[in-house]
Structure 1
Amino acid sequence: MVFGTYSISYVYLMPYKNAVNVVTYKYGSKGGLVYKIQDKLKRWGYYKGSIDGIYGYQTYKAVRYFQSKNGLGVDGIVGNKTLSALGIYVKTNTTSTRYSSNNQDVNLLARLINGEARGEPYEGQVAVGAVVLNRVKDPRFPSTVAGVIYQPGAFTAIVDGQINANLRQSSINAARDALNGWDPSGGAVYYYNPAKTTNKWIWSRPLIKIIGKHRFCR
């Protein structure tokens, strides 16, 4: 897909035998990909300016803020690592879209998010997806998305059938953002709604943050 005309810098990484081009976006860049960068940053609360496809000072500051909050090198330049953290994949010689809407993990994770967190702030929906993925990486839990989601008693949406509720687009988007690396939960492996839970043990878990009605914990 073509997003219009934009300014691109190519950085060659040495001393590789065959140089790899890394697409970067920086102050002065323009076009559709800058528009997408601004849109992501604005949705996630890092950018307050207009979405105009022009990489100006406000975009530069927002990128630096995003980088500082996500463990990236803080330089205000959107290279491959920052693009990846934003969930934006540019097709080059070495990169392509990581997930598609038919991907089984996207669909299953979206249904879990939909059943557990529809109606929550978008950041909270992504955070629920991130909890699933954090469990996949944690040796205390199953090592696949399906294994984590269907672990007996792990999620209310499986028990009460809400995983089969009418799927919303925001749940699909949240699943993609979580799978592409955004973790608003801060590394949580548990979450709960204090107004609904009857599990006393979950209250003992160290709190990381509160998003909407959910508390995210270690």
Structure 2
Amino acid sequence: MLLMGVVTSVGEAVTLGNRLLYFGARGNDVKSLQKELAKEGYFTVEATGYFGPITEKAVIDFQKDNGIRIDGMAGYETINELKDENSYKNTANVNRASGYRINVTQEELNLLTRAVYSEARGESYEGQVAVAAVILNRVADPRFPNTIKGVIFEPWAFTAVHDGQFWLTPDPKVMNAVHDALKGWDPTEGAVFYYNPAKVTSYWIYTREIITKIGRHYFAK
């Protein structure tokens, strides 16, 4: 019994990432894992510090969505991916590939995720990253508002905001595309406009120089 007590104390003392976590594990590092998973929307109950079936399923779902080997255990790769994903939620300034620094609040991260989901939920992963990149490119462009929130809610800027689709509950997977855009991936190569020719309501958009086409969207300067 004394030995068991010592093992439990050590387990509770270690920090997240110092040991492999799997079904049956207990400790503060398991609780930290649960909290990290909760930030990503994979763990929806109270963090207990016990690695049971709910935690295992959350880990498996996270691994599936992030291209990690699916084994239901939180090892080096899974934990580091979680920390990388959640680092953006606590970062005040994000460096774009262009060197421009964009202030990102938790509110604006949520708004950006909604914008991408409502505007590009039927597009490929690259197409979703591209829409997020356009919004970030506008923030860096003096012709547009200089905050993510300002760009998104600029009058008539986005159809989904105007018609109310913006307020649909986004798929958590879309946040991965948002994070990739924040890391600097810009499939549009600097575009500040995009449009679907089948849904154009203002022919002015055709005056813009096209850079590339991704899915159903044309991206322009």
The TM-score normalised by the length of structure 1 is: 0.56
Deviation for aligned residue 1:105? 2.1
SS at 2:199 equivalent: coil
Deviation for aligned residue 1:140? 0.5
1:214 to 200, 204, 217: 217
CA distance in 2, matches of 1:209, 1:129: 15
Report the aligned-residue RMSD: 2.9
Partner AA of 2:17 in structure 1: V
CA distance in 2, matches of 1:141, 1:128: 16
Change (3 A) 1:100 1:3: farther
Deviations 1:89-133, CA, capped at 9 Å, x for gaps: 988xxxx96412882222110000011000100100010000000
Aligned-residue identity in percent: 50
1:152 to 144, 151, 155: 155
2:138 to 123, 135, 138: 135
Partner AA of 1:178 in structure 2: A
Partner AA of 1:181 in structure 2: G
Deviation for aligned residue 1:175? 1.4
CA distance in 2, matches of 1:198, 1:172: 29
CA distance in 1, matches of 2:177, 2:18: 23
Gaps of 5+ in 1: 6-38, 44-50, 53-87
How many residue pairs align between the two structures? Answer: 137
- Mapped contact 1:209–1:215 kept (Cα < 8 A): yes
CA distance in 1, matches of 2:130, 2:164: 21
Higher helix share: 2
Deviation for aligned residue 1:200? 0.8
Deviations 1:125-184, CA, capped at 9 Å, x for gaps: 010000000000000000000000000000001101111112112221111211221111
Change (3 A) 1:4 1:183: farther
2:174 to 171, 185, 188: 171
The 5-angstrom pairing of residues 1-218 of structure 1 reads 1-2=16-17, 98-100=87-89, 103-218=106-221
CA distance in 2, matches of 1:174, 1:125: 6
Rg: which structure is higher?
2
CA distance in 2, matches of 1:106, 1:145: 8
Change (3 A) 1:205 1:4: farther
The TM-score normalised by the length of structure 2 is: 0.55
CA distance in 1, matches of 2:207, 2:82: 39
SS at 1:216 equivalent: strand
Change (3 A) 1:4 1:208: farther
